[in-house]
Structure formats: C-alpha cells, structure tokens
Amino acid sequence: MELSIASLAGNLLAPTILFFVLGLVAAFARSDLSIPEGAAKVMSIYLLLAIGFKGGAAVSKGGIDGQLVASLGAGIVLSFVLPFVAFGLLRVMTRLDGLNAAAVAGHYGSISIVTFVTAVSLLEARGISSEGYLVAVAAVMEVPAIMSALWIAARKGEGIAVDRSLIRHILGNGSIVLLVGSFVIGAATGESGLNDLRPFIVVPFTGVLALFLLDMGLSAGRSILEHRKDISGGLLLFGCVMPVIGSLFGLAAAALVGLSTGGAFLLMVLSASASYIAVPAAMRLALPKAKSGIYLTLALGVTFPFNLTLGMPLYFMLASLVGP
C-alpha cells in the first residue's frame, strides 16, 4: 500500500476528527455549546448497533476460521497483559500509589469502542478492507483488563472482593451486551439483513459519528479543565506514551495472527486505546478509594484525543509498513 504524508494528513482532516477538535476547542474556550445527554446516549447506542451488525454480517460472508479464533485469543491475551505493562510504566514515570496506579492500569488493557468505531470509519472512507470479526475482538477485550487491575490492587494489599455482583455488573455492561448482540444478529442474518438495514446503519453512520465526536470533544476538554490539577507532567506523558507501547503489542499480535493491513491497524487501535465507560464504572464499584478524576481524565482527556489526532496516523503508518 502506497504511503505518503498526504495520506496520513488525510486522517487528521477527516470531518469526524475535525468535529472532535471543534468540541475540544469549544470546551477550552468555555463555550456553552452542549449536546443533550439523551441525544448522546441514543447516538452511542446507534454506533454500537451499527458497527456490531456490520461486523457480524462480514463474518457471515467470510465464515468462521482459525484466524478468527486466533484473533480472539490474541485480544484476550493483550487485554490481560497490557495492564501489567501500564502499571510498571506508571510506577517508573509517576508518583501514583499502588491503588491509583492499578486503577489507571486497568483502563489501558481495555478498549475505547468510540476510538475503534472512528478507526473503522476512516478505513471505510479510504476503501481499505479489514476483518469484520475484529468487532468481536473488541468485545472480549473489555473484561480481562478489569480482572488484571483488581489482581494488581489485591497484591498491593487493598483487599478487593471480586464477588458475584461485581462480575454481573461487568459482564452486563450495556456497551458489551449491545455490541455482542448486534454482532450475533448480523452474523445470523448476513448480507440480506445488512441490505435491509443499509439505509439506517450505513448511510447516516458518518454523520452520527461526527456529531457524537463533537460531544466527546466537549467531554474530553471539560474533563481536562476540571481535573487538570490532578494530572502531573508524568501522568500526561504516560497518557501519550502508553498508547504507542500498546499499539506495538497489537502490531506484534496482528503479525502473528496474519491479519491484513486494515486488520492490523484496528488491532493496534484497540491495544492503544483506554476505556472511559466500562472500566471506570467497574473501578467505582471495586476500587472506590481510587481517584476517578485521575483515571477518567487520563483515558478520556489525554489518551482519547491523542489517539484520534496523532495516534491513528502513526498506527496506520506502522501497519502499512509491516503489512502484506
């Protein structure tokens, strides 16, 4: 695949990314621009349904094979391992105590589904194919990282109780349920089901994503402003370095599995992203003494903007250089 500076710049100039930047600018300017909470919730439901259904339809068309199983296994391993890498890096780069470092680390083994959806949209806009079943890989990467973070915290003497209620809360997370459910429906109905829903989940997709990323930009900017005193220089650097390290783990896994260039890019994005929905909810239950202002601002206010603006062009370049 031909690689050029112009092609990388095209990622930054995509309308969806620019709407995210607009949201950041509006937040930093302390504008009263806002998206109603109910509208944002509907948009997130729509995006999860659309990306899950399209991924399931792609699997129905291509069939289940060994590469799919290997990719799922790679995703689970990455999700288990990356929190330990993040924890070690935090202990070197910051002065966080063990509890808060464990809470932050869990976010960096899990994934940001919005970052993934944006990456899929960028590939589709450029006509680059990828393995549809990576939607399922995204789903299985939510939970293992939480378990790793709780294990790290327990080893530090925090006495975390992983009970039935917590497990039910994690597995019953609405994002996971909707993503997996729509993926299964897409796989069951296949191409005919996709054609039936095409006017709903294909045509409006990019416009809805642009509006949703505007809201995410507003949220990220306001989170930074609200909690900026909690984010030290070391934490800020970690929020930009850890995604790159995670992406390299994802690239190595993609090479072992034999993913296409588009698939390698998506697995890198998953490995580089940090959860700001499922994991924060779990940490509030399991590690209530950890400072949510730190882990939420790092995931949403630092790593999310980094990935959307600078990270994804870098990951695409690396995937292109080593891909088939």
Q: In this structure, what DSSP letter does residue 302 have?
A: I
What pLDDT digit, counting tens, does each position of 251-266 carry?
Answer: 999 999 999 999 999 9
Closest CA to 141 of 240, 45, 279, 265: 279
Contact of 16 with 213, CB cutoff 8 Å: yes
What token pair was written down for 36?
């109603």
Distance (Å, rounded) from C-alpha 314 to C-alpha 294? 26
The tens place of each residue's pLDDT in the chain, 324 residues long, gives 444 445 545 566 678 888 989 999 999 999 999 999 889 889 988 988 988 898 888 888 767 778 889 999 999 999 999 999 999 999 999 989 889 999 999 999 898 988 998 899 888 888 888 888 898 898 888 788 988 888 888 876 665 555 666 667 666 667 778 888 898 899 899 889 989 999 998 889 889 999 999 998 998 889 888 888 888 899 999 999 999 999 999 999 999 999 999 999 999 999 999 988 778 877 877 788 888 888 988 999 899 999 988 899 899 989 988 766
Q: Determine the Cα–Cα distance for residues 16 and 214; give it in Å rounded to an integer.
A: 8
Report the Cα–Cα distance between both ends of the chain, in Å, rounded.
8
List the structure tokens of 86.
Answer: 């993040």
Residues recorded for the chain? 324
pLDDT at 1: 41
Q: Which pair of tokens denotes residue 294?
A: 């730190």
**C-alpha to C-alpha distance for 11 and 4, rounded to whole angstroms:** 12
